[in-house]
Structure 1
């Protein structure tokens, strides 16, 4: 298991969302650097990765559970998607910087939520997520694995 996989394994679902927002910001900065360098291929790659993250976040929204909050996030993702497309099409660093500012604001809100003990308890109750005792060791409440053996 790589360092990155171990780090992700120990995150709660909200921390994973924060990590995805960090990825969007990182790729948007890469796109800006590519525009400034005149590197069209790198700009397209960075924008595509940003859009991939947006589409993943959009696909994970639960409108039946999230209600108005999920709808607001859906509209936010659509707006950022449009800014990215326009920024890439026009090679506009201003549009991409606008997207970064918006993503950063919402990321900060998710960061606050990720540290809220009430939210973490709600996640524990409503999902299969459990805080990891250690990324490399099974959670103490997990069932012991069977020791089946086989031979060829």
Structure 2
């Protein structure tokens, strides 16, 4: 009569994700991209183990899309210099490993890429957790009392 409960849950999750994206800082958006790619790879591994070929392919394709059209596309190679260049190379490597995992049904390759993404996500999260430092009071002259 009212549709499936799963559809309602999916709609609620989609609204929650859209709200997160709209209100997120650029830093948080990168974390969301990492989270999305990690989740897609986990789903791909689950479908691979269950023999669900179509779902496995869709999940891995989603991870590839996030890596290439989200993470790689957001790199600013001029401003980021060597770090951005190295990340770009790492994302290319991840793409190749995911394609091989899909073709050869190797969960170990999915695990490898997932580990790399988790490490990058953790590092990115730690960068964002550092509070902006206020200028040290030692830079200001001390007022003499009268």
Normalising by structure 1, report the TM-score.
0.74
How far, CA to CA, are the matches of 2:129 and 2:23 in structure 1?
Answer: 14
Instruction: Choose the corresponding residue for 1:35, options 43, 48, 63.
Output: 48
User: Partner residue of 2:27?
Assistant: 14
**Larger Rg: 1 or 2?**
2
User: Partner residue of 1:106?
Assistant: 120
- Alpha carbons 1:14, 1:113 under 8 Å: kept: no
Instruction: Choose the corresponding residue for 2:81, options 67, 81, 102.
Output: 67
1:59-138 equivalences in 2 (<5 Å): 59-118=73-132
Unpaired runs of 5+ in structure 1? Answer: 120-152
How far, CA to CA, are the matches of 2:97 and 2:41 in structure 1?
Answer: 11
Q: How many residues end up aligned between the 2 structures? A: 119
1:44-55 equivalences in 2 (<5 Å): 44-55=57-68
Unpaired runs of 5+ in structure 2? Answer: 1-13, 134-146
State the superposition RMSD in angstroms: 1.7
Give the drift of 1:10: 2.2
- Between the two structures, name the one with larger relative contact order (CA 8 Å, sep ≥ 6): 1
Is 1:5 the counterpart of 2:14? The answer is no
Give the drift of 1:115: 1.7
How far, CA to CA, are the matches of 1:51 and 1:95 in structure 2?
Answer: 13
Normalising by structure 2, report the TM-score.
0.76
More helix by share: 2
Partner-residue secondary structure (3-state), 1:2: helix
How far, CA to CA, are the matches of 2:33 and 2:20 in structure 1?
Answer: 13
